[in-house]
Structure 1
Amino acid sequence: MTTTEITAAADGGSWLSTLVDAVVGLMDVIGPYGAGVAIAAENLFPPLPSEAILPMAGLAAHRGAFALWEAILWTTVGSVVGALLLYGIGVWFGVDRLRRIAERLPLVSGEDIDRTVAWFHRHGGKAVFLGRFVPIFRSLISIPAGVVRMPVWRFALLTAAGSVIWNTVFILVGWYLGSGWHIVEQYMDIVQNVVIVGVAAAVVWFVVVRIRAQRRQRAAGAVAPRGEREAPAAD
């Protein structure tokens, strides 16, 4: 049974399993390089879960399609390549361009970009490394790293360090559990959904806070001119 056939049998044909099936099918065609391509795609398209792809690479290695070390090596290379592509997008935008865009958008300002850049200069290294363990965030963190032009060698090293840990854990899951790896994937789907809900809640909170702040500013602006007009009469 091929890797693709095992995936289809385990997942039951949902849209996500179909997408994963199409991507990890590369492993049946080009071996461990296909696993690297799949993980690079996961970086660029976060809804494609590495929690499903990596165990499949471990399963393929267990079946003898390629060596375990090849699975770990090429998935880590794929993680770094995908992250570098997003890093390049961040470099292209740059701080000045993002600041100009922010000034044209509602609820944000150029000062928000400045504060984010300052935060990233202080904590960017930890954010890049630890971000590799958080669904969705592990992709998005590459963009601000490029915006602030973190040294590319440092970014690549931190990304590789975090990725090799994450990738190895899930590849070993597939290696040891065999075709039963999808049991773990179900729990990881729950974790990923919790992260998505948390991000959505944070966005809603941000919007609510900014709308209230803008209302207070407009109210203060309306009161100030009235006070200025009354001041001469008091004299």
Structure 2
Amino acid sequence: MIDSGTTQWVTGLMGTLGAPGAGLAVALENIFPPLPSEVILPLAGFTASTGGMNLYAALLWTTLGSVVGALALYGIGAALGRERVTAVAAKVPLVKVADIEKTEAWFERHGAKAVFFGRMIPVFRSLISVPAGVERMRLPVFLTLTALGSALWNTAFVLAGFFLGEQWDVVSGYVSTYSKVVLAAAGLALLVLVGIRVFRSSGTSGPGGRAPEEARPDRS
């Protein structure tokens, strides 16, 4: 269900600033994931359909906002490091440490692909910038993948709002279902990854959890 307060805030921002307002809202959504892109982007498309802003300007500014927000999180990850990022995330309302850990595990497994495809996965699309910063992923690569992935995601939702018109809000229902499926799959993947690591660790240890000692040479 769409929060009316969020809708009014986004509508007011775009009404005041136009397409740059949509870009600012998306930048804030990247930094603070609980702000829903499934509201901001279709609403920007609907506003464009009514003549409130140019459609191409909406696409440009929302993508720019995604890149700026992602760059801010990249900088936070690079400056704070893994442990302090997790500690800070634990104190931020509505941000789950478990989501940070899932995103980090996904980045460790997929690297560049995680940054690109992560832009099309709710929650991950914002948080994926943090482990990229922690690991100091090359900035030109990060920005290019972020821009491409964000452009695809943003275009799909802005156009959905543009063509749906006053029914733009139905998009959130589909995204909610999609989000639950993706997050459940990510949680399962994380459990499998942890299980594999535990299995490998136990397999290389001897009795009592210690690695078997090498045979000592006979000194007699």
TM-score scaled by structure 2? Answer: 0.73
Note closer, same or farther for the CA distance 1:79–1:223 as it changes in structure 2 (3 Å cut). closer
Look up the match of 2:12.
25
Structure 1 gaps, min length 5: 1-10, 102-114, 225-235
Question: Deviation string for 1:8-60 (max 9, x for gaps)?
Answer: xxx6xx5x343343234311111111101111111112222212211100111
**Once the two structures are superposed, what CA deviation does each residue of 1:59-91 show, in whole Å capped at 9, x if it has no partner?**
111111111111001100100000001100111
Alpha-carbon deviations, 1:133-173, whole Å to 9, x = none?
Answer: 11111112111211221221221111011111111111111
Q: Which residue of 2 aligns with 1:67?
A: 54
Within a 5 Å distance, the mapping from 1:147-166 to structure 2 comes to 147-166=134-153
Q: Tell me the amino acid that sits aligned with residue 168 of structure 1.
A: T
How far 1:119 sits from its partner (Å)?
4.3
Check the 8 A contact 2:19/2:58 in 1, yes or no: yes
Alignment match, 1:168: 155
SS at match of 2:21: helix
User: What is the distance in 1 between the residues matched to 2:106 and 2:151?
Assistant: 27
RMSD: 3.6
Task: Say which of 167, 171, 187 aligns to 1:180.
Answer: 167
Map Cα deviations across residues 199-231 of structure 1 (whole Å, 9 max, x no partner): 44556667788889999999943899xxxxxxx
Question: What pairs up with 1:36-51 in 2 under 5 angstroms?
Answer: 36-51=23-38
Q: Rg larger in 1 or in 2?
A: 1
**Cα 1:200/1:65, change in 2 over 3 Å:** same
Distance 1:79 1:143 in 2: 14
Contact 2:107–2:132, Cα closer than 8 Å, also in 1: no
Q: Write out aligned runs for 1:54-203 (5 A).
A: 54-94=41-81, 98=83, 119=108, 123-202=110-189
Partners of 1:43 and 1:139 within 8 A in 2 = yes
SS of 1:65's partner is: coil
Work out whether residues 107 and 128 of structure 2, in 8 Å CA contact, stay in contact via their aligned partners in 1.
no
Q: CA deviation at 1:116?
A: 6.4
State percent identity of aligned pairs.
48
Distance 2:37 2:129 in 1: 16
TM-score (norm 1): 0.69
User: SS state of the match for residue 25, structure 1?
Assistant: helix
**Structure-2 separation of matches of 1:118 and 1:185:** 26
Structure 2 gaps, min length 5 = 87-103, 212-220
Q: Among residues 22, 25, 40, which one is paired with 1:35 in the alignment?
A: 22
- Distance, in Å, in 2 between the alignment partners of 1:19 and 1:139 is 18
One-letter identity of the residue aligned with 2:75? G
Q: Would you say how many aligned residue pairs link Structure 1 and Structure 2?
A: 194
